[in-house]
Every structure is written in C-alpha cells, then in structure tokens.
C-alpha cells in the first residue's frame, strides 16, 4: 500500500464515529467504501458495489453486547458497550469494503491469481495511527494552544477559562478537519452512501415498503447519527474538564485521556434521551448535529440507495432465520 493509500484509509477510519449510528436500535447502519453496513438487533450485513458493478455482501449473526455481558445494561456502561461494539463492526465493515474496492475482477476463477487484499497488520497499523492522530489532534493540540492563550491573556488563564478555550479550539479543529475531508472525492462518495443509509432507515421506520423510490423521498439528516453524538461529546467534555480539580499541563492532558470513557458514556445517555424527544427543549441537543450532517451526508443516487437496501434486506433475512421478530415500537 502506498503512503497516499494509507492516509486515505486512515481518513476513512477517522470517519467511523461520524458515520456510525452508535445506538442499539431496531435498525441502524454505517457507510463504508462504495457500500453500507446495516444492523438488525441480532445480525448485520455489509453490501458493497465492486468496481465491476457487482454487489458483494458479508453477513453474520450479532449478539447484543448487553446480552452477552449483562453489566453493559446499566446507564453509562451501556453506552461504552454499544459504541465499542459499533466501532468494532464498523472496522470490520470498512476492511471488507476496502478489499472489495481493490478487487477489480481480474483474478476471476484462476487459482494462480489471488485478489488484492489489505492485510490485517496493515489495518491494525492504520488503526494505531488513527488513534494516535486523534489523541494528538483533539487532546494535546487544543490543550497546548489554550495554555498558550492563558499565558498571553491573563483573563483566560483560570481553570474554567482554559478549559472553555480548549473546547472551542477542539471544535474548530474538528469542523475544519471535517470540511477538509469532505473535499476529498472518495470521502464525498462515502457521505453519499451515508445519506443513502439514513434514507433507507427512515423508509424502514415509516412502515412504507422499502424501495428506492420511497427511500429517496426522505431527508438525509437523522438524529441518531454519529455526527450529533460527537458534537455532544465535545460539549460535555468542556463541562467535565472544567469541573476536574487538576492543574498543570501534564495532569490536564492525562485527565482528558482517563475521563474519555466517562464522557462517552454520559454523552450516549444524553443523546439517547434527546433523540426520543424531538420537538422539545431536550431535542434541541441534536439540532447542531443535524445541521452538521449537511457536510457528512450528501444526496445519494439511486445506485447508492439500492446498495443500502440490499444491506438492509440481508440483515433482515438473517434476522428472520434466527427467529428474530422485528416490531417497530
């Protein structure tokens, strides 16, 4: 893999939290490279369109993390379990889609020519790189810049002011980074599949027959999107960091890493609560995420919607084989 290919793959890994619904719901999904992963309560299916136009799928049974480990049924912890499982599935789906994108069909049925695939160690290296990039860009850099501002402007040197400045800088970096990624052709295409995934989920939840024509009638902005979740994480982190009684650059930096699971769990509970109360004051919490989805989702063409439907049908079929009864509450 070239350096350019490695960085492009890393960009896709960075998008995983944004493209994932991140909640135990009846159906949810995630956009991947030229495809969509759809989840039912006990199954998932990834559908990807290869360069030759063929749609390939990968589906497997899926046990809810709260069923496998009862401790994740409790508030805060259930968010960590659900999001951890979502990221794991998203990682697997991304690898499957990346390999499908590399398969141009030239290998055919020949036993002497093997399809080009991204190795597990390359994916692991990319994941480690992406995690390091996240800590550096969203934890270290904002805190460092906020500390410099505090030294230059005495009025912004207090613990509270430093953490607020840190939060504003973090959001600015996130929005700039997101906008820059949206200018990349392959990321923009993923955002189209992101829009297709949302449309198909809306179509399913409406109880109307799921087809391309009906799905295209819906908007691409969904309140359970990971984009909304990440913005809530950033706001909650500003509040939590301001309440932590630590001083000194090293201590603050360590606290930002140690408290990340707590902030994630709190944010999950808040966004879960607010998503069920659209039109209320609590529902306003999801509004900024819905606005930001004008960047992270794009109007899909019929082929992208067709792939999303293919993924949903695969997940539903496997769910039915397991005896799962799907009822929209």
- pLDDT at residue number 235: 86
327 pLDDT more than 50: no
Q: Collapsing DSSP states into helix, strand and coil, what is residue 56?
A: strand
Task: State yes or no: pLDDT of 319 exceeds 90.
Answer: no
Reported as a single tens digit per residue, the pLDDT across 208-218 is 999 999 999 99
Of 134, 115, 120, 219, nearest to 174 by C-alpha is 134
Q: Is residue 218 part of a domain?
A: yes
Answer yes or no: is 326 within a domain: no
pLDDT at 203: 93
- 162 located within any domain: yes
Task: Tell me the three state secondary structure of residue 30.
Answer: strand
The answer, yes or no, to whether residue 292 has pLDDT greater than 60, is yes
Q: Does a structural domain hold residue 329?
A: no
- Is residue 222 a part of any domain in this protein? yes
Q: How many domains does the chain have?
A: 1
Average pLDDT score over residue span 277-293: 67
Contact between 163 and 241 under an 8 Å Cβ cutoff? The reply is yes
Residue 270 has pLDDT above 90, yes or no: no
pTM attached to this predicted model: 0.83
Mean per-residue pLDDT for 302-312?
95
> For 98-147, what is each residue's pLDDT tens digit?
888 887 665 555 555 555 677 788 888 888 898 899 999 999 999 999 99
The Cα–Cα gap between 296 and 191 comes to 5
241 within a domain of the structure (yes/no): yes
Band (pLDDT 50/70/90 cuts) for residue 276 is low
pLDDT of residue 328: 37
Q: 265 is written with which tokens? A: 């769990």
Cβ contacts of 318 within 8 Å, gap of 6 or more: 40, 43, 45, 59, 60, 61
pLDDT higher for 207 or 110? 207
In sign, the C-alpha dihedral spanning 70, 75, 81, 86 is positive
DSSP-assigned letters across all residues of 75-126? TTHHHHHHHHHHHHHHHHHHHHHHHHHH--S-STT-SSSPPP---HHHHHHH
Residue 155 lies in domain: 3-321
> Three-state SS for 279?
coil
- Tens-place pLDDT, residues 143-189: 999 999 999 999 999 989 999 999 999 999 999 988 888 888 888 99
Whole-number pLDDT of residue 106: 59
Indicate whether 8 pLDDT > 60: yes
Can you give the pLDDT at residue 293?
Answer: 87
What long-range pairs does 264-267 form, CB within 8 A, spacing at least 24? Answer: 264/79, 264/80, 264/83, 264/233, 265/75, 265/76, 265/77, 265/78, 265/79, 265/80, 266/76, 266/79, 266/236, 266/240, 267/79, 267/229, 267/232, 267/233, 267/236
Is residue 86 a part of any domain in this protein?
yes
């Amino acid at each position: 893999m070239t350096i350019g290919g490695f960085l492009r793959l890393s960009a896709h890994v960075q998008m995983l939290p944004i493209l994932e619904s991140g909640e135990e719901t009846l159906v949810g999904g995630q956009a991947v490279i030229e495809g969509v992963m759809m989840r039912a309560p006990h199954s998932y299916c990834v559908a990807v369109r290869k360069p030759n136009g063929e749609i390939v799928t990968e589906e497997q049974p899926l046990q809810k993390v709260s069923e496998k480990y009862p401790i994740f049924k409790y508030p805060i912890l259930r968010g960590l379990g659900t999001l951890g499982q979502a990221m794991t599935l998203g990682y697997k789906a991304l690898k499957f889609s990346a390999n499908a994108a590399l398969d141009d069909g030239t290998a055919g049925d020949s036993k002497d020519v093997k399809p080009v695939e991204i190795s597990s160690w390359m994916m692991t290296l990319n994941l480690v790189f992406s995690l390091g990039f996240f800590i550096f860009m969203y934890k270290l850099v904002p805190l460092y810049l906020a500390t410099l501002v505090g030294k230059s402007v005495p009025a912004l040197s207090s613990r509270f002011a430093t953490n607020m400045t840190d939060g504003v800088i973090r959001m600015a970096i996130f929005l700039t980074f997101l906008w820059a990624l949206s200018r990349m052709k392959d990321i923009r295409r993923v955002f189209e599949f992101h829009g297709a995934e949302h449309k198909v989920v809306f179509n399913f939840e409406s109880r109307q027959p799921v087809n391309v024509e009906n799905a295209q009638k819906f908007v691409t902005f969904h309140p359970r999107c990971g984009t909304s979740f990440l913005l809530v994480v950033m706001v909650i982190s500003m509040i939590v960091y301001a309440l932590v009684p630590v001083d000194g650059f090293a201590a603050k930096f360590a606290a930002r890493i140690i408290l990340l699971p707590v902030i994630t769990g709190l944010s999950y509970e808040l966004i879960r609560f607010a998503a069920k109360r659209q039109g209320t004051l609590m529902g306003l919490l999801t509004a900024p995420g819905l606005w930001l989805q004008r960047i992270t989702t794009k109007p899909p063409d019929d082929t992208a919607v067709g792939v999303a439907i293919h993924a949903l049908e695969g997940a539903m079929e496997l769910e039915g084989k397991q005896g799962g009864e799907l009822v929209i509450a």
